[in-house]
Amino acid sequence: MNDPSEVNDPSEVNDPSEGERPERRHQRVLNAYDLDRDGSLNDQEQSMLANDLVIGCEAHRERIIEAFDADDDGLLSEEERALAQESIDAERMARRELRRVERLESFDLDGDGELSEAEREAAREFHQVQREAERLESFDLDGDGELSEEEITAMRDTHAEETRERIRQGERPRHHPRR
For 175, left (φ over 0), alpha (ψ -120 to 50), or beta? beta
Total residues interacting with Ca ion, rule: CB under 5 A: 13
CB-based contacts of 107: which residues, under 8 Å, 6+ apart? 115, 119, 120, 122, 123, 126
CA–CA separation, 162 and 33 (whole Å): 11
User: Which of 33, 34, 17 is closest to 25 using CA atoms?
Assistant: 17
Residue 120 engages Ca ion in binding (rule: CB under 5 A)? no
Residue 12 engages Ca ion in binding (rule: CB under 5 A)? no
CA–CA separation, 137 and 157 (whole Å): 16
Show the binding pattern over residues 79-108: x = contacts Ca ion (CB under 5 A), - = does not.
Answer: -----------------------------x
- Binding to Ca ion in span 19-78, by CB under 5 A: 34, 36, 38, 45
Q: How far is the CB of 125 from Ca ion (least distance, A)?
A: 16
Q: How far is the CB of 148 from Ca ion (least distance, A)?
A: 5
- Apex 31 CA angle, 26 and 33, nearest 5: 100
- Of the candidate residues 140, 156, 169, 172, the single one contacting Ca ion (CB under 5 A): 140
Residue 135 engages Ca ion in binding (rule: CB under 5 A)? no
- The site for Ca ion (CB under 5 A) is made up of 34, 36, 38, 45, 108, 110, 112, 114, 116, 140, 142, 144, 148
